[in-house]
Structure 1
Amino acid sequence: MPAPKKTARRFLLVTSAALSSLALAVPAAVAAPKPSGSPSASASPSATPPATMSTVGGARLGKPGTQVNLASGVPVLPKDLSARSWIVADAESGDVLASHNAHWRLAPASTLKMLFADTLLPKFPRDTKHKVVPSDLAGIGPGSSMVGIKEDETYTVHDLWLGVFLQSGNDAVHVLSAMNKGVENTVKEMNEHAEELQALDTHVVSPDGYDAEGQVSSAYDLTLIARSGMQKKDFREYASTVTAKFPGETKKGKKGKKVRKPFEIRNTNRLLAGDVDVPVYQGIAGVKNGNTTNAGATFTGVAERDGKVLLVTVMNPEKSEHNEVYKETARLFDWGFKAAGKVQPVGELVPPRDAAQSGAQPGANPSGEAGGSGDGGSATAGPGAKPVAGAPAADGTSGIWTALGITGGVLVLLAGGAFLVNRRWPLPDLVRRRTRP
């Protein structure tokens, strides 16, 4: 259960000195400039993992193959994993518990929308309205996932973000990009934000994750990006919303009266919403899935159990079984929760560049709550959204994800420049997950 505010304040005071030293003790690779092998406009994912890759987060993360410190009492990794790349990390401490080709630059598919959201969410109040014009929807790739946005219709920013997170709508991404001075500017800002996050394997070409020459990311980077995004209240709410109402097309009703009926949209994250062969994962709280020809299936998820918050990213399982990316993610979550506290980490999730270089002191805002950059609105998902009903976590408690917005252990207060370590935020009840009957 999240600690009371007074306890949290006392914790920060007592551990201030220790946390300060942790914030300053950043490996040399963290603050290093972009590796010479950084992706460029002409870069493409390799067919096999390179012999050496980025060492951001630790030298072992730059090695090909599986990296884990197995020892007495540490559970054995699942033997049926087929993903080209994956990573299991403690969201609060930043420890990487195990990985497989963590820095292999691969096509990310719609998991890249996490970076899109982390970059743009703070910019527009959720109640801002926008009337869609034809140019807003120009350039959407054929076969794209769509939420169903129509020209000449007006949508709120809240509507558009529901379309991005739940339906992975490329049309919603393009409309928000148009509001942000266009796709080209949005791509530029996403690449800049990726570099600030030290997601140095990432190169954005299309903001929606649609296959594009040179567009790459890695399991490590996607995990960093998810960790950053989950610090934002709106990001957490949208990422954990299962169903919502989306505005439909205006039509003539009886007696010529114009009627605009909403329709229901459902989150395509199968660990959150469930499917015929995939139950809702107990403790799940988001984040984002993707699937394209070049990328195959990709997924980053976050879940809480017994007070532990884990992030798992899985990229392109070779098995063709239905929903395989979710099944492998669930197995890695299961392993991570059993291994947490027993296995020695093989690396770490690094803090954003400015926080690492400034060595900023841990801190909290005057209210005693963990702060953050602008959220683009309030903490709730707003009218029409239907998050999962509250239910006990795996240990029978209501506790959840404690939040670090799950970014756990290391929380960056971009607005104030402060860097928090091991600080939890309580998430709303919607993050408590029921067990599928």
Structure 2
Amino acid sequence: MSTVGGKRLGRPGTQVDPKAGAPALPKELSGKSWLVADAESGDVLASHNAHWQLPPASTLKMLFADTLLPKMPKTKTHKVQLSDLEGMGEGSSLVGVKENYTYSVHDLWLGVFLRSGNDAVHVLSAMNGGVPATVSEMQAHAKHLNARDTHVVTPDGYDEKGQVSSAYDLTLFARSGLQKADFREYCSTATAQFPGTFEKGKKKRSSFGIQNTNRLLTGFGIEPYKGIAGVKNGNTTNAGATFTGVAQRGSRVLLVTVMNPQHQEANEVYKETARLFDWGFKAAGSVNPVGTLVRPGAAGANHPSAGGEDGRKHAQASVSTGNGGSGGAWTAVGIAGGSVALLGAVAFGVHRRWPLPELMRRRSRD
């Protein structure tokens, strides 16, 4: 396995370095791979097969969003053509985009984040120059983030041969995406209204309610997790259930990724995520980090934990300087401080209590 983020993250099995009195890890963890990290410092508190390359399912949409969100204003509109919807995998999750109807970019991102709509992903990809161009940009952005376990084949995460990521890389995608206000808004939205059709005899277009498929956010079938504020779930035949979440308790913000739990219980990926959040909030300060979430670009590629000279050269050579890369955003929020929580509403001021879940969990809107 890769050693990006530290040598221990390249070792198989569970990695944790408790101090005296630290709480024990939960016993009922069956994920093939998982990771718990402090979102601000980037410290990895514990992991299990952090760099295993596994199918990501729709958690790959975090990379899709992080790559494309800066490129299109949310007010931009697009009339959907039949060709925009071609190439979706059989049984894809859909939000209900219709041919010959016009949607705003804002509408489409709600469809991506709330309903994991592959139809919305394909329309946004068409607006971005097509699926091949979008996949290429996603791969370049993954390399810019030093996410070396990831190979992108589809923009929506649908099962395809060779499409893989890792718990480590998915956590990098979430951390990068959460730098963006729009990303935070969409991933924390619990319910919304989505444009429907023009009903016969009526001039006004109908709409219908959609609910976020992140069950720790909405509480559908499981208790909502206190302090949850995103990020993205997924489920396919090859990937099983996957999930990356961000939550806050007090002043601490944690990221947890769980991939493919082997226990066949309902909502198991959310249950294991919740257990790891609980452990992480209790353990913070009582465990030594076993690794770190490296920074994007050359700053991360040159970090002592980036995997050696060959790895640093590889990552530096693949840094994206355009096509919506987020390098500028990271610099603007003071990446030298290593904090994901510094993006303020005005002049990028410090806002250490981000995200405030009470405010982040937006409800339905027209």
The alignment's TM-score, normalised by the length of structure 1, stands at 0.72
User: Equivalent residue for 1:263?
Assistant: 208
Aligned counterparts, 1:284-433, within 5 A: 284-356=228-300, 413-414=329-330, 419-421=335-337, 422=339, 423=342, 424-425=350-351, 426-427=354-355, 430-431=359-360
Q: RMSD in angstroms over aligned alpha carbons?
A: 2.3
Q: CA deviation at 1:260?
A: 1.6
Amino acid at match of 1:320: Q
The structure richer in helix per residue is: 2
User: Equivalent residue for 1:54?
Assistant: 2
Q: What is the rounded CA distance, in whole Å, between the counterparts of 1:285 and 1:348 in structure 2? A: 22
Q: CA deviation at 1:72?
A: 1.5
- The alpha-carbon distance between structure 1 residues 356 and 219, as it changes in their structure 2 partners (threshold 3 A), is closer
User: Equivalent residue for 1:365?
Assistant: none
Q: Secondary structure at the match of 1:248?
A: strand
Q: What is the rounded CA distance, in whole Å, between the counterparts of 1:431 and 1:91 in structure 2? A: 17
Q: What is the rounded CA distance, in whole Å, between the counterparts of 2:211 and 2:176 in structure 1? A: 24
Q: What is the rounded CA distance, in whole Å, between the counterparts of 1:420 and 1:279 in structure 2? A: 37
Query: What is the number of residues matched between the two proteins?
Result: 331
Unaligned runs of 5+ in 2: 304-320, 343-349
Q: What is the rounded CA distance, in whole Å, between the counterparts of 2:301 and 2:169 in structure 1? A: 19
Partner deviation per Cα, 1:40-66 (whole Å, 9 max, x = no partner):
xxxxxxxxxxxxx10000000000000
Q: What is the rounded CA distance, in whole Å, between the counterparts of 2:249 and 2:302 in structure 1? A: 33
User: Equivalent residue for 1:384?
Assistant: none
Amino acid at match of 2:288: Q
Q: What is the rounded CA distance, in whole Å, between the counterparts of 2:13 and 2:267 in structure 1? A: 24
Q: CA deviation at 1:100?
A: 0.2
The alignment's TM-score, normalised by the length of structure 2, stands at 0.86
Q: Secondary structure at the match of 2:259?
A: strand
Q: What is the rounded CA distance, in whole Å, between the counterparts of 2:241 and 2:333 in structure 1? A: 36
Q: What is the rounded CA distance, in whole Å, between the counterparts of 1:432 and 1:126 in structure 2? A: 19
Q: What is the rounded CA distance, in whole Å, between the counterparts of 2:247 and 2:336 in structure 1? A: 21
Alignment counterpart, residue 79 of structure 1, candidates 8, 21, 27: 27
Amino acid at match of 1:430: L
- The alpha-carbon distance between structure 1 residues 165 and 209, as it changes in their structure 2 partners (threshold 3 A), is same
- The alpha-carbon distance between structure 1 residues 279 and 312, as it changes in their structure 2 partners (threshold 3 A), is same
Amino acid at match of 1:82: S
Q: What is the rounded CA distance, in whole Å, between the counterparts of 1:58 and 1:412 in structure 2? A: 25
Aligned counterparts, 1:136-151, within 5 A: 136-151=84-99
- The alpha-carbon distance between structure 1 residues 432 and 147, as it changes in their structure 2 partners (threshold 3 A), is closer
Percent identity between the aligned chains? 69
Q: Secondary structure at the match of 1:413?
A: helix
